């Protein structure tokens, strides 16, 4: 004896709205401009080192940034910073170097910064902080390089 089960399966379409991100919206975003300038100043930086660097800029150098950090296993992580990096990658202002897996500016990113840069006073303070923190991110960068070499070696 089989029982007939009256199951109704409905497929619902869920529509979620997301704001459209354009290059014009980046022009007025102080935080994204800071990230672009830091990447330009360092030439290339791993995402992990960038997270640490911005965390230390905010906590030790008192740079006013909107990023909120949580600590996961003694590693500072910011969801907002990760989203901003993804937006900059999506817009083609930064790219990931395929051999080192580090972030770097594209030619479009360089042109964008030439036209839409922050005032030299603001950037001088931030870049001085980046220079002071360079020794702290060197071990993180070395770890990223070793990891990328191990991944390439397995292929």
**79 domain-assigned:** yes
Return the number of other C-beta atoms located less than 10 Å from residue 21's C-beta. 17
**17 domain-assigned:** no
117 φ, ψ to 5°? -95, 160
**76 domain-assigned:** yes
Return the number of other C-beta atoms located less than 10 Å from residue 61's C-beta. 14
- pTM to 2 decimal places: 0.81
CA 50 to CA 11: how far, in whole Å? Answer: 42
**55 domain-assigned:** yes
Average pLDDT of the segment spanning 125-132:
91
CATH number, residue 58:
1.10.10
* pLDDT tens digits along 57-103: 999 988 888 999 998 888 899 999 999 999 999 999 999 998 888 99
Three-state secondary-structure class, residue 136: helix
Domain of residue 99 covers: 23-154
- Contact between 85 and 47 under an 8 Å Cβ cutoff? The reply is yes
**40 domain-assigned:** yes
- Contact between 95 and 104 under an 8 Å Cβ cutoff? The reply is yes
Alpha carbons within 13 A on the beta-carbon side of 136:
16
Q: 2 pLDDT exceeds 70?
A: no
CA 150 to CA 114: how far, in whole Å? Answer: 36
- pLDDT value at residue 108: 94
Domains: count for the chain = 1
* pLDDT tens digits along 17-34: 766 788 888 888 889 999
């Amino acid at each position: 004896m089989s029982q007939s089960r009256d199951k109704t399966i409905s497929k619902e379409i869920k529509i979620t709205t997301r704001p459209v991100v354009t290059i014009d919206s980046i022009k007025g975003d102080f935080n994204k401009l800071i990230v672009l300038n830091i990447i330009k100043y360092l030439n290339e930086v791993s995402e992990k080192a960038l997270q640490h660097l911005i965390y230390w800029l905010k906590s030790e150098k008192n740079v006013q940034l909107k990023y909120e950090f949580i600590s996961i296993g003694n590693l500072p992580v910011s969801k907002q910073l990760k989203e901003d990096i993804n937006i900059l990658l999506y817009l083609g202002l930064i790219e990931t170097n395929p051999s080192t897996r580090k972030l770097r500016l594209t030619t479009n990113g360089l042109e964008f910064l030439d036209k839409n840069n922050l005032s030299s006073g603001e950037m001088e303070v931030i870049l001085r902080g980046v220079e002071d923190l360079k020794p702290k991110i060197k071990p993180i960068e070395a770890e990223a390089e070793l990891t990328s070499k191990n991944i390439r070696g397995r292929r």
